[in-house]
């Protein structure tokens, strides 16, 4: 497989990088702390490969409005004002 085929596949991972068939099937995935491997098989030529995903970004979806969080923020402010630092036990 040449670099162009690999680049094309990464842009649009919907075809077999060996024979070009669109008849591919994703199998098991193996998550790591910051990456994920997913097995893929071509149902036409039976080549197999791994798609490798890495964590590139994150976004907060929901911040719970817990009163405890406000108490912690207030304590932090008071502590910092007096030159102390809160530590989590
Ligand atoms: Zn194939």
Q: Which residues surround ligand 1, an ion (CB under 5 A)?
A: 16, 18-19, 21, 42, 44-45, 47
Dump pLDDT digits (tens) for 8-62: 999 999 999 999 999 999 999 999 999 999 999 999 999 999 999 999 999 999 8
84 CB contacts (<8 Å, ≥6 apart)? none
Q: Please report, in angstroms and rounded to a whole number, the separation of the first and last CA atoms in the chain.
A: 53
User: If you measure from the C-alpha of residue 74 to the centroid of ligand 1, how many angstroms do you get, rounded to a whole number?
Assistant: 60
Q: What is the DSSP string of 6-52?
A: HHHHHH---S-TTT--S-EEEEEEEE-SSEEEEEEEETTT--EEEEE
At 36, list the tokens: 């994920």
Looking at the whole model, is its pTM more than 0.85?
A: no
């Amino acid at each position: 497989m040449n670099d162009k085929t690999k680049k094309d596949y990464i842009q649009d991972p919907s075809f077999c990088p060996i024979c070009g068939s669109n008849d591919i099937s994703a199998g098991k995935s193996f998550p790591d702390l910051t990456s994920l491997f997913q097995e893929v098989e071509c149902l036409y030529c039976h080549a197999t490969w791994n798609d490798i995903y890495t964590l590139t970004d994150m976004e907060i979806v929901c911040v719970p409005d817990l009163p405890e969080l406000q108490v912690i923020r207030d304590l932090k402010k008071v502590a910092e004002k007096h030159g102390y630092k809160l530590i989590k036990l």
